[in-house]
């Protein structure tokens, strides 16, 4: 079941490593023509999380809504959930089985292809980089924003809310 249909605005969908942080790392890997590092960045850090609105407020209060903690480093295999760990938001190991991510409302989703993996995306990004387009950073951003939605995680609190909503639906049947 799609989270948007079930939870109707009771959650926030966000990137585990904000695009604002990931984009410069990806751009540097492209400038240096480092395919392996590019694939590692995408594989490690391209995913989204579903958290409650209260958990989002906690991230904002701690000034971590669009940046990683000061001691985080991608070079040292930084923890993808470092922001959540820092503010005490536990994450589920995987989303519920019947879970479908929210892909509505973002034009970037059209850049996301279900069969893509880290290597496919790295190749696509390298082609865009080499094409010498004026708006290549916008296209790169679109791919980085669109792809992670096929790789979702959920906070434990959001997962409990999900389970409660599923139970309510089951009772109504």
- 68 band by pLDDT with thresholds 50, 70 and 90: very high
Residue 173 lies in a domain: no
Does residue 93 belong to any structural domain of this protein? yes
Structure-token match 């387009």, residue found: 133
Rounded-to-10 torsion of CA 103, 109, 151, 41: -150
Measured distance CA(21)–CA(130) in Å, rounded: 22
Q: Nearest 5°: CA angle at 37, between 125 and 65?
A: 80
Q: Work out how many domains the chain is built from and give that number.
A: 1
103 pLDDT tier (thresholds 50, 70, 90): low
> pLDDT class for 149, splitting at 50, 70, 90?
low
Range with the lowest mean pLDDT among 78-82, 104-108, 137-141, 167-171?
Answer: 104-108
Q: How many CB atoms lie within 10 A of CB 172?
A: 6
Whether 52 is covered by a domain: the verdict is: yes
Across the range 153-167, mean pLDDT stands at 89
> What does pTM read for this prediction?
0.84
Asked if residue 82 has pLDDT above 90, the reply is: yes
| Beta pairing partners, 155 | 91
> What does the pLDDT average to over 32-52?
89
How much is the average pLDDT of 43-47?
Answer: 86
21 within some domain? yes
**Which residue segment(s) compose the domain that 86 sits in?**
3-167
Outline where 88-130 has alpha helix (H).
118-130
Q: Please choose, from the candidates 145, 160, 45, the residue with its C-alpha nearest in 3D space to the C-alpha of residue 95.
A: 160
**CA–CA distance, 167 with 165 (Å, rounded to integer):** 5
* Residue 99 belongs to a domain: yes
């Amino acid at each position: 079941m799609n989270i948007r249909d079930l939870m109707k605005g009771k959650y926030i969908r966000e990137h585990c490593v904000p695009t604002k942080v990931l984009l410069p790392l990806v751009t540097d890997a492209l400038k240096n023509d480092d395919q392996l590092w590019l694939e590692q960045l995408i594989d490690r850090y391209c995913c989204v999380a579903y958290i409650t609105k209260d958990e989002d407020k906690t991230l904002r209060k701690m000034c971590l809504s669009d940046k990683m903690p000061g001691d985080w480093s991608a070079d040292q295999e930084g923890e993808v959930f470092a922001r959540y760990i820092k503010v005490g938001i536990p994450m589920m190991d995987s989303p519920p089985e019947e879970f479908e991510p929210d892909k509505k409302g973002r034009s970037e989703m059209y850049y996301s292809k279900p069969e893509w993996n880290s290597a496919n995306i790295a190749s696509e990004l390298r082609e865009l980089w080499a094409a010498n387009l004026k708006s290549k950073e916008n296209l790169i951003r679109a791919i980085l924003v669109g792809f992670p939605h096929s790789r979702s995680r959920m906070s434990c609190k959001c997962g409990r809310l999900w389970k409660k909503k599923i139970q309510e639906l089951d009772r109504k049947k």
